[in-house]
Structure 1
């Protein structure tokens, strides 16, 4: 029975199920389960979350799986049944006297001498093989824990609507309870885990109300995991503090954009519906007589309506449409766009919509995960201005130094299982941390020199009769000194692109290219561009100006309506797509994925190559679906470099990369001898790498 047979049964019973869950379940049932696990019960528990009210379909599927796995389950049951009982040939006398004589016989016997000279019967090679298999099994289970933690938990949460999740995290009663209560957060010891990985251990989480915190740290350190734990109240945030987490784009439907923003404030929407219901009931009672029961009912409804009005007034519900329109306008939605259905927008615009919804709700604690990734420079400038007057607490994960400089009042540095706090924006943090690191290193070196001096004196005079007493005193001084830990080394990264061979120009040219998805609405008109091995071209402009479209025409993914594109026959192009995650298989490890794309090398070769982009150790053997955004970007760069490109076309390559990774990428591109075209909204990246800047009209800039 193969895992693909099992997967097909699950797909047939529950069409539309995410493929990543199907593959996980199939692999678990056939290959990954331990002998001690009741695999059908585990599968039933996971599938029940997919079944909903389709219990009959679930039961039929479980019966089918039981039949398909029958032989395999019998073997597992046999293997876990333990050692076999053996029938003794004769009765053993276990009397006290017999035991005593056995002990007496053993007295004074040298068991070691009995065994002396007998070679061990253990097969060392077999033992090493078994130990390796056991280690691999433990590592596989650890990775499976990570997989379950990131994918199956998310699938369970996706079954709850936004409204249900919002009301679960932020009950309506908590809005009234929040009055006169402090919205500061101080948790002196928190632990955060992801699967079997400990992200934070005994860390202190301190967020003062009204402050804006930038959360920074290396890719894969667990910043997004921490935000999710806070958002789900898995970290004990006080119940009266409302929380909203902007992590991913909204699901598109027929709801107009402005209506989607208004509905995001579930409290407001709920109270407006309650107001309408109460008004309707009062209207019905108005036609009734003056009997006491009608009077009492009218009075009770009037009191509830007054309370609802007071709550709506507190949250400034009446100004909702105007505030929603202003937020959407600031993020680039014109009046016409605001009335389009959300399904008509691309992924980047849906991310903006998700951001507008969060800003409209105005939670006491707003959590943002890399908000600058999907918005252009104009929208980013507006967002910076808006967040500078944010009335609540803001915790934002970002690797954009300029953005953090503009909005952060404090920096939280996540590393080594703890959180360190710095006052000021990113530039002030960097200066303070650099100075502190220098002082720590200086103090450490001074202490080590002092200890070295003591040890040298002791070594020289401890056996000299005249100086022995002094040497003993030095020994006591040295013993009383506390253990000294070296300061953490500043981690540096290097990206490495292979040198490309020279080929004769022209390499890649566009001549008078015109393109539009419809003849009525042209995106590009009369564009000319010439790319060589020494090109360093940056394309900037508003979202929708045609930058990504131009890249796709250069790669051949799209054909121009007019004009032509000339590509050298020997030219190899490496394309880093804005949504590069879609090109990676989440159910494979980075090593497996590289092997599937570029077969014929050893596992060590793939791991060594991934190491050129800081995917090292067990990270290379971890499922891609469990990696952070920055780690996935590194895998994408590793794949690009194996293509041995002459020209790199990079669409938003800085998204998700941490600050160290961004620095490494800039240095690598400066050193590389091939041509580069970049689309980016990161000002520092553009000014460092590019020699030419093309604007949204695609005329040569400065």
Structure 2
């Protein structure tokens, strides 16, 4: 169990945590939420002892191993798989023990080391590491490529794989979905759902949090408040809590005014002095409630485009790629005014290549791409934050943009415009290099809006944006009168903005007939097909040769095909009957467990007694373990029935 008791933490003059308390049970999956700059990463640093609290107590079981994603960019010539394997600390320790035993020629120590290697899963560790890498989007030929050969985003995926490789009782993930595309995000989501340790996630992806977390810890104004349920449940509960808090505050203010009025009226009268004094003491003893201070919502809007060419783009047998390497070919489509297109596709299939070709940052390899007259593209690239000038301030960026790209604007007009994106006062001159990732992303959005485009080409625009800013972006895109083409791993944004999808797969671009749920099913089917193909390939290896005399004699032909067929069906029914019966029993048990879990979570959400919380946490963990075991057995039975059939 993790216990934070009356914690105060300061970073410079800022109080990040102010007498904050929280209790987290073993095996819980917790979403840590709060606005940018609230102190979520500082809390992670506190739990891993990189920071020390100024006051209070932090209790984390001493035997717990911790795993988190390192934020530094790895620089090594080691292969990708070997680098990820180093994240398995028990495996690294067991290998070191074996090397020491061999160096000392100590047979007893070598035997112990080999036993330890077996205990930590050394024999399948490499395949487990490669499964993590492939789940995060690495191709087979990249598994042993040097770490230094990968770009920054891919190296951060390596850091994530390394964190997942460590068998830890406590896993801390700070924005793990940044640098991931949708297929890798779906895989990570499924992996974390199976993780049986205590998990704390900082994320601004609503659907990701909803799918994984069962507890939400809200950090606001230095206080920690625990809510039972995922992010959507948290929003509902917090809204209700704020309404009740505001009502209680208003009621108390009425009571205070009533007492003060009595005191002011009768404090000078001898006959009422005693009563007035008792009310003064009542006021002093009263625990004052604070008013609800909700953080101001951030919102912005895209300017009305000067014109709307229709069609905006026309592809005529266009091919795109790099040099002689064609990635997508024979694109024959058009983009019309007002369309909202989401671009889907697995990693490496060519989504960003297509977007870069449309943006004009790289030429088409073949065919033709025609732009409508008056087309103005607002392009947000994945690497857009990297091309900001770190030694300049937001105002300098805007002045140069207005001068070189347009439309023109006076300095005061540009200052006022930046204020809409929360760049106020001296902040307009603060060096971009010292801004947070979210602030940099807001600056890029401001620069896009200023250009007044009629086609928005957005490649992963939500990286580094908090939930409030993502919601503001969604609203602005829905009100935008031009055309939107969007690549994103944020499913909430795709659902709210896009009304049609293009799928980039197998070298072609085609319409995807379905929604995001259908796309996730499609990804799962693709993964299963790949697994079956690999299994079939391994099974197709030639069997050992046998002597001809050892071959069994052919069975006699059946005289009555219908009789044989009926006997086969009867035999199959006999074989599968106990399996189906067990599946029915598991279904009933899982339904009962799910009902019980919902009841326990509801009790926790309503505020259970402190003495009962620990037992409820243990029961939730036991239910989750049983459900996971039942699901695994249900799938196993289904596979057995399918094999028999």
Length-normalised TM-score, structure 2? 0.69
1:550 aligned to which of 349, 354, 361: 354
**Residue in 1 that maps onto 2:371:** 567
Name the CA distance, whole Å, in 1 between partners of 2:474 and 2:321.
33
Aligned pair 1:414/2:414, yes or no? no
**1:191 deviation in Å?**
4.1
Is 2:203 aligned against 1:398?
A: yes
| 1:347-387 alpha-carbon deviations (Å, 9 max, x no partner) | 44333322221111123322212112222333222222221
Q: 2:447 aligns with which of 614, 620, 639?
A: 639
Partner of 2:35: 218
Shift of 1:458: 8.1
Relative distance call for 1:403 and 1:471 in structure 2 (3 A) is same
- Alignment of 1:268 with 2:91, yes or no, is yes
The CA distance in 1 between the partners of 2:415 and 2:266, in whole Å, is 51
The answer to whether the 8 Å contact 1:231/1:244 transfers is no
Give the structure 2 partner of residue 187 of structure 1: 4
Cα pair 2:304 2:480 within 8 Å, conserved: yes
Partner of 1:208: 25
- Of residues 456, 459, 481, the one that matches 1:648 is 456
**Counterpart contact for 2:217–2:227, Cα < 8 Å:** yes
Structure 1 contact 220–627 (Cα < 8 Å) conserved: no
Change (3 A) 1:445 1:509: farther
Alpha-carbon spacing, 1:680–1:471, altered in 2? closer, same or farther (3 Å): same
Where structure 1 has 5 or more consecutive residues not aligned to the other structure, the ranges are 1-183, 283-300
What is the alpha-carbon root mean square deviation over aligned residues? 3.3
Aligned residue for 1:264, secondary structure, equals coil
373, 380, 397: which one pairs with 1:593?
397
Distance 1:463 1:206 in 2: 47
Distance 1:315 1:660, change over 3 A: same
Q: Could you tell me which residue of structure 1 aligns to residue 610 of structure 2?
A: none
Asked if structure 1 preserves the Cα contact closer than 8 Å seen for 2:175 and 2:202, the reply is yes
Question: Any conservation in 2 of the 1:193–1:200 contact (CA below 8 Å)?
Answer: yes
Alpha-carbon offset, residue 232 of structure 1: 5.4
Superposition deviation, residue 501 in structure 1: 1.5
Cα distance in structure 1, aligned partners of 2:245 and 2:126: 54
Compare CA radii of gyration and give the structure with the larger one. 1
Q: Which residue of 2 aligns with 1:234?
A: 51
Residue matched to 1:244: 67
Match of 2:81 in 1: 258
Report the Cα distance in structure 2 between the residues aligned to 1:468 and 1:422, rounded to whole angstroms.
48
Give the gaps of 5 or more residues in structure 2: 53-57, 514-645
* Contact preservation (8 Å) 2:456, 2:483: yes
The 1:417/1:588 distance shift into structure 2, 3 A limit, reads: farther
Report the Cα distance in structure 1 between the residues aligned to 2:387 and 2:472, rounded to whole angstroms: 23
Go from structure 1 to structure 2 and tell me whether the alpha carbon gap of 1:271 and 1:380 turns closer, same or farther (over 3 Å shift).
same
SS of residue matched to 2:363: coil
What pairs up with 1:163-562 in 2 under 5 angstroms?
184-194=1-11, 196-204=13-21, 206-231=23-48, 233-235=50-52, 240-248=63-71, 250-251=73-74, 253-282=76-105, 301-309=106-114, 311-451=116-256, 476=280, 479-480=283-284, 481-489=286-294, 491-519=296-324, 521-562=325-366
Q: CA–CA distance in 1 between the matches of 2:249 and 2:489?
A: 41
Distance in 2 separating the partners of 1:608 and 1:478? 49
CA 1:408/1:593 → structure 2, altered by over 3 Å: closer, same or farther?
same
